Amino acid sequence: MSEETDREPPDVDVFHGASDGGFLLWRARQVIEQAERRLESQFKIWEAYERRATTFLGWLSAEIVAVVGGLLTLLSSGPVSKHSIPLIAAAVGLVSASAISSWQFAKVFREKQMTTPGLDPDALAKVADTSSELFTLEWMATPYIEGAAHNLTELDRSYQAIRSGARWFFAAPFAALLGGILGYAALGMAR
């Protein structure tokens, strides 16, 4: 028989795995790994929110510039007839809703304190108690866990801003319609 087959198998419960200090070290490593994954995914979500807000802001900018340009052309072309009132009211409704939408989307870009994977090497080098790998890994996990919880708050604020901005974006045509109807009604009352 070879030397490898003569050895006794390790005394490990195959149904429960390690249960001594080796388990604690494994768990600490897993906490770090899972926390880093979570932080990376949160950062990707944050980037996706910013891309979405940027796209909407591009559409809103074009919409506002076109409508305001049309209004300025109408108003600068001479005396405005009373038949232009519904058009002006519709433009005001559209621009108002679009401006509110833009304000909401701009909130996504406010300054945030997002935690990202990776710790300050200087802080790691200055860990006071370096008695064990386990202690150091647990020390490293703490800011990751706290940072992931903080990131959720930041992401939720950005998500709420995107939802609000999208609602106003999709409400803008209805605001224009309502403005036009009210302008038309005011025109009818003026007769």
| Residue labelled with tokens 């710790």 | 119
Q: What is the pLDDT of residue 107?
A: 95
Does 9 reside within a domain? no
Quick one: tokens of 181?
A: 């109807």
Q: What is the pLDDT of residue 38?
A: 93
Euclidean distance between CA atoms 165 and 180, whole angstroms: 22
Q: What is the pLDDT of residue 167?
A: 97
Does 145 reside within a domain? yes
Mean pLDDT for each 10-residue chunk of the chain (191 residues)?
54 58 84 92 94 96 94 87 88 95 95 83 74 83 91 94 97 95 84 62
Q: What is the pLDDT of residue 56?
A: 96
117: Cβ–Cβ under 8 A, 6 or more apart, which residues?
36, 39, 40, 43, 144
Q: What is the pLDDT of residue 17?
A: 58
State which residues form the domain around 68: 17-190
Does 182 reside within a domain? yes
Does 128 reside within a domain? yes
Evaluate whether 147 touches 117 at the Cβ level (below 8 Å).
Answer: no
Does 56 reside within a domain? yes
Domain count, the chain: 1
Q: What is the pLDDT of residue 168?
A: 97
Does 49 reside within a domain? yes
CA distances (Å), 185 to each of 75, 80, 90, 95, 157, in order? 21, 18, 12, 20, 40
Does 12 reside within a domain? no
Euclidean distance between CA atoms 104 and 96, whole angstroms: 13
Q: What is the pLDDT of residue 156?
A: 95
- Helix, strand, or coil here: 14? coil
Q: What pTM did the predictor assign?
A: 0.76
